[in-house]
C-alpha cells in the first residue's frame, strides 16, 4: 500500500518553470514505476513522464521531451517533475501515480497504475 501526496503546483507565465513534488509513503522498500499524469476536463489522464525507482528506466511523452525532467530520490522517497519552458498547453491537474511493474514505465497508461495522489493544479498563462 502506498500513499502519494503532490505539491508544487501553481500559476506561471509561458516560458516559466515549476517543480512538482510527490511524497511517497507506505511500502516504499518495493520498487515501483512512478509516473506523472495530467488531466484536463473532459479528457483522460495523459502520461507525461515515468521512472522506475530502481533506476535505468525513464519515459517522456513527446510533448514534454527536452522540457520536463522526472527524478526520484530514494532516500527521501520523493518524486519530482521539473518543468521548464512551460506552455499554455501544459495547463492541467497533475497527478503522481505508482505501478508495480517496471514494464509499465515504457508507456504509462492510466488504467494500470494502482496508486494515485490527489493532484496539483498547474496553470500556464500566455
Residues 6+ apart with CB under 8 A from 87: 14, 124
- Residue 49 — φ and ψ, nearest 5°? -160, 155
- pLDDT confidence of residue 116: 97
Q: For the segment 60-105, what is each residue's pLDDT rounded down to a tens digit? A: 999 999 999 999 999 999 999 999 999 999 999 999 999 998 988 9
Q: For the segment 71-83, what is each residue's pLDDT rounded down to a tens digit? A: 999 999 999 999 9
Question: Secondary structure of 13-68 in the HEC alphabet?
Answer: ECCCCEEEEEEEEECCCCCCEEEEEEECCCCCCEEEEEEECCCCCEEECCCCCCCE
Amino acid at each position: 500500500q502506498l500513499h502519494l501526496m503532490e505539491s508544487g503546483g501553481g500559476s506561471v507565465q509561458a516560458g516559466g518553470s515549476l517543480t512538482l513534488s510527490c511524497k511517497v509513503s507506505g511500502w516504499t522498500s518495493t520498487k515501483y514505476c512512478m509516473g506523472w499524469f495530467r488531466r484536463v476536463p473532459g479528457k483522460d489522464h495523459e502520461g507525461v513522464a515515468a521512472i522506475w525507482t530502481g533506476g535505468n528506466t525513464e519515459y517522456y511523452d513527446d510533448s514534454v521531451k527536452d522540457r520536463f525532467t522526472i527524478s526520484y530520490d530514494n532516500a527521501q522517497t520523493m518524486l519530482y517533475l521539473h518543468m521548464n519552458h512551460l506552455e499554455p498547453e501544459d495547463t492541467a491537474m497533475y497527478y503522481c501515480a505508482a505501478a508495480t511493474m517496471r514494464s509499465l514505465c515504457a508507456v504509462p497508461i492510466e488504467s494500470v497504475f494502482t496508486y494515485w495522489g490527489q493532484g496539483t493544479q498547474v496553470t500556464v498563462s500566455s
